[in-house]
Amino acid sequence: MNKIKLLSLGLISLAGNVFAQEKAVPTPHWRPAYHFTPPANWTNDPNGLVFLNGEFNLYYQHNPFENKWGHMSWGHATSKDLIAWKHLPVAIPEVITKDTTTWIYSGSVVLDKSNTSGFGINGKPPLVAIFTADQPKQKKESQFIAYSNDGGLSYKQYSHNPVIDLNMHDFRDPNVFWYQPTQQWIMTVSMVDDHMVRFYGSKNLKDWNKLSDFGPAGFTKNGWECPSLLPLVVDGNPDNIKWVLFVSSGGEHGPLIQYFVGDFDGITFKSVNETNKVLKVDYGDAFYAAIAWRDAPENKKILLGWLQNGRQETYPWKGQMSIPHDLSLKTTGDGLVLNQLPSVFVTRALHKYATGKVIEKTNIDINGAGLKLPGNGNAYWIDAEFDIRNARKAGFNVVGKAGTDKKVTLGYDAEKQLLFVDCTGSEKDNKSPENLIQTAPMKAINGIVKVKVLLDRSSLEVFGNDGEKVISTMIYPDKDATGLALFSEGAAVVKSLKMWNLNRGE
C-alpha cells in the first residue's frame, strides 16, 4: 500500500464499516459477467499467476472475512479459458501467533521444474510462492517463501523464513522468473520509498544475492509497488526481444502503472528511454498492480491487473480483475511502445459465452446522435471500425438511462486526436472531477480508428487501434440504465461492427 492509498483505503474502510452496518445492499447488477471477482469479500492485486496442467492459476490479495482490505491472504481460482473461474479455498492464509500477525502480501509463484529448492517430493516438481510477509506490529516487510506439493491448492511456509530481510518497513512485492543463460532465479522487488526496483539472484529460491538496482526513474511522486520484468517480442519477430519493467504507483489522479523498455543481461536492467520519460500502461483511473502469467501457452505474455473501485461500494464482493491483456512491443514514431489486446485465450472462447446471435453490421452511416443498438443488459463486447474523415467525434453512448441524460460516452475525438471515455453524464458521485474525462493520445490511420468496447456491468475497458492505447475504468450505472447507441459529431461511417452479448445470470 502506498501512503496515499492507505489513507484512501482507511477512509474507504471507515465508510465501508458504516455501510456494512447500515445497508449492505447486494449489487448483483454490478457483478461482472465475464471478468473475475471473488464470490464474496475483498480483493486487490493479482498474485502468483502461473499456468499449470492446462489451467491458468490466479491467486489474489484477499480478505476472506470482510468486504474491505485487511487479513491479507491469497485467494485462489483456476480457469481453462480466462473467462469461467473455478473458486478454490484460500491457498495461503494470514498467520497469527501471540506476538506477530503475518499478512501475505503480493508476490509470485514459479513451477520449480528441476526441484532446485528441494521442496519437491516423489519426483514431482513443487510450486514455490515468493511473497512479502507484512508484519504490522513490527512495522516490517520481508520476503518469504512457501511451497505446494498438491498442485497449488495449499502451501507450507518454509521453516527458515524470511529469505530476504533488510529490516525495512516498505520493501515488497517480489516477482520471480527463471533466467536460462545464467541458470538462476531472478527476483524483482520494490524499494518502495526509494522509487527503485532491486534485482536479486538465486540458485535455489532460498538463498538470494543482490544483483543491481534500477531507479529512481520515470514517475517518482509516490511509492513504487508490484514490479515485474518480462521479455517481449518486438514487431512480431521472435528473434527480436526487449525487456519491459513494469512498476505500479499512485499517479497524479489515481493509480498508474508505468513501464520501461530496455535490456537485461542477467544482472542489470538498462532502460533505452530517457530517465524522466513516463510511459503509461493504461490511461484510465482503475488499472493497477498488474503482473503476467508465468509459463502461459504459446509463449504468450498475459498481463492481468486489479481494477480499483474508487468510491463506490459493491456487495457481497469488492474489487475485480481486468480482462487479461496479451502483450507485445511495437516500433513507432515514439520509439518502442507496449501493445495490448484482450488475450486470444479470451477471444477464442467468447462464442461459448455469447447469448443470442452475434450482431454483425457493415457501412453504417451516422450523423448525430441516436442510432440505437440492441443492448439488453450491460455485459457485452463490441469491435468497431470508424471512418472519421468527415467527423469531429464518433463512438458510443453506453449505459444510457431512458428519459434522462444519464450516459457514458466513449470513442474518438478527431479534432484533439484522442481516444476518450467521458463519464461526466453519470459518474459525478463516484469520481473526482479530474477523472470524469479520461483520454489517451492516438492517431487515426488513413482516417480509420478501431475501438474495442468491453463493458461488463461495472467495468469499462476501451482498446484503441489494435491495442495501441487502453483506457480502463469502473462505472456504476443504475440497474435500468442499459441504453446503447452509436453517435457522431459530423458524418462518420462505421465500416464494421461486431457485438457479442455476454449477459448471463449472477
- Positions annotated as catalytic residues are 45
CA distance 294 to 418: 34
132 binds ligand FRU (CB under 6 A): yes
Rounded to the nearest whole angstrom, what is the least distance from the CB of residue 167 to ligand FRU in the complex? 18
CA nearest to 1, candidates 225, 169, 162: 225
Amino acid making up residue 68? K
**Residue 105 Cβ, how far from ligand FRU at the closest point, in Å?**
3
* Position among 56, 105, 144, 177 found at the interface with ligand FRU (CB under 6 A): 105
Closest distance to ligand FRU from the beta carbon of 260 (Å)? 18
Q: Which of residues 63-92 bind ligand FRU (CB under 6 A)?
A: 72
Q: Burial code of 46-76, b = ≥16 C-beta within 10 A, e = fewer?
A: bbbbbbbeebbbbbbbbbbebbbbebbbbbb
DSSP 3-state of 274: coil
Q: In angstroms, what is the minimal distance from the CB of 189 to ligand FRU? A: 11
Binding mask 163-182 for ligand FRU (x = CB under 6 A): ---------xx---------
Binding residues for ligand FRU, rule CB under 6 A, total 13
Q: How many CA atoms lie within 13 A of 72 on its CB side?
A: 21
Say how far apart CA 242 and CA 232 lie, in whole Å.
6
Those residues with Cβ within 8 angstroms of residue 274's Cβ, 6 or more apart along the chain or in another chain: none
The CB-of-400 to ligand FRU minimum distance in angstroms stands at: 33
Q: Report the relative pairing of strands 418-422 and 437-441 from DSSP bridges.
A: antiparallel
> According to CB under 6 A, which one of 61, 116, 488, 501 is a site residue for ligand FRU?
61
Contact 152, 91 (CB under 8 A): yes
User: What's the closest the beta carbon of residue 117 comes to ligand FRU, in angstroms?
Assistant: 22
Residue 289 sits in the site that holds ligand FRU (CB under 6 A): yes
Closest to ligand FRU by CB, 465 vs 473, is 473
* Contact with ligand FRU (CB under 6 A) among 13, 37, 43, 44: 44
Please identify, using beta-carbon distances, which residue of 37 and 339 lies nearer to ligand FRU: 37
Considering only 34, 45, 346, 391, the residue that binds ligand FRU (CB under 6 A) is 45
On whether the CB atoms of residues 241 and 215 are closer than 8 A, the answer is no
Residue 504 CB neighbours (<10 A) = 12
At 336, is the secondary structure helix, strand, or coil?
Answer: strand
**Could you say which residues in the range 223-262 bind ligand FRU, by CB under 6 A?**
225-226
Rule CB under 6 A: choose which of 106, 175, 340, 473 binds ligand FRU.
106
Question: DSSP letter string over 81-126?
Answer: SSSS-EEEEEEE--EE-SS-EEEEEEEEEEE-TT-TTS--BTTBPP
Identity of the residue, 57 or 61, whose beta carbon is nearer to ligand FRU in the bound complex: 61
Which of 1, 191, 197, 256 is close enough to bind ligand FRU by CB under 6 A? 1
Report the interface residues with ligand FRU, using CB under 6 A. 1, 44-45, 61, 72, 105-106, 132, 172-173, 225-226, 289
